Amino acid sequence: MTGTLRELWLFFRRDLCIARTYRTVFLFEAIEALFGVALFYYVARFVDSPQLRNALPQSESYFAFSLIGFVFLDYLNAAMDSFDRSLMEARDTGTLEHLLVTQTSLPVILAGSAIYPFAASTLRIAVYLAWGAVLFGFPLRDANWLAVAAVLVATLLAFSGLGILSASYLLLFKRGNPAKWFFLGLSSVAAGVLFPISVLPDWLQFVARLNPVTYALEAIRAALLGGAGFHAVWRPLLVLLFFAAVLLPLSMAVFAWALRRTKTTGTLMHR
């Protein structure tokens, strides 16, 4: 266990050292976050009304509802994109083949490559919410942070499986997985990101109820805006953990098969 934690720490430290060579990026991302929060705040002021608030969960303001949906979509994108990006960087720098012949296990390699992107995405979310709370009155006083953390961890576990499947596609076909972008596009419409799913036609509401992003957003909004505890968010948490239990072992098996396939055909390092 100690050896595994050390390996994960080394992966994180490597990516952190690389990121620190581009320090101005952090500043520009913080400024970009400010503009993004301001955009949602003033759009919300334009469209907000008592009728709209009554249609939203917890009767919150549209600003709070939409900002959470926006930053959560960024988190989802990180969960699905980090494995692809790490794989392409390792392949382009020529370190992929060297890494795969070490004694480091495949699950540790995959988990280690995703730690820093997930940490960076968490920091971006914190910056967005901090701008919203300090300058635009985003309500954080009632948040149940333990429940928020549990929902984020369950979300990462659930969608990391999809990210590993996407990396498997990249390993085999040397190009991005179009299904990933289809899923992200579908989730932006049929998951309650910027509007409640109740406004959708019945067939799209049915699709939304099959989408785990819907449950993740319901849980994170309830915990962050309504202060809901585990007794209130256990059902969406259970759904997310079910997806994780199915997708993670499946995706690991598919990635291992794709890796063996590319080694057999000699196309591991091909672009």
- Of 162-176, 185-199, 228-242, give the lowest mean pLDDT range: 162-176
Confidence band, pLDDT 50/70/90 cuts, at residue 237: very high
Q: How many whole angstroms separate alpha carbon 103 and alpha carbon 80? A: 26
Confidence band, pLDDT 50/70/90 cuts, at residue 245: very high
- For the cut 80, the answer to whether the pLDDT of residue 134 exceeds it is yes
Tens-place pLDDT, residues 15-69: 777 777 777 778 888 888 899 899 989 988 888 777 777 767 665 788 888 899 8
Q: Please compute, for residue 11, the number of CA atoms within 13 A of its CA located in the half-sphere on the CB side.
A: 25
pLDDT of residue 235: 92
pLDDT of residue 92: 66
Q: How many whole angstroms separate alpha carbon 168 and alpha carbon 165? A: 5
- For the cut 60, the answer to whether the pLDDT of residue 121 exceeds it is yes
CA distances from 152 to 14, 58, 217 (A): 24, 20, 10
Mean pLDDT for 99-126 is 75
Burial class (CB in 10 A: 0-12, 13-18, 19+), 40: buried
Better-scored residue on pLDDT, 223 or 87: 223
In the structure encoding, which two tokens stand for residue 179, read together?
């299904």
C-beta of residue 74 within 8 angstroms of C-beta of residue 193: no
Tell me what percent of the residues of the chain surpass a pLDDT of 90.
15
CA distances from 126 to 30, 37, 67, 234, 269 (A): 10, 12, 12, 24, 37
- For the cut 90, the answer to whether the pLDDT of residue 185 exceeds it is no
Round the average pLDDT of the chain to a whole number and report it. 81
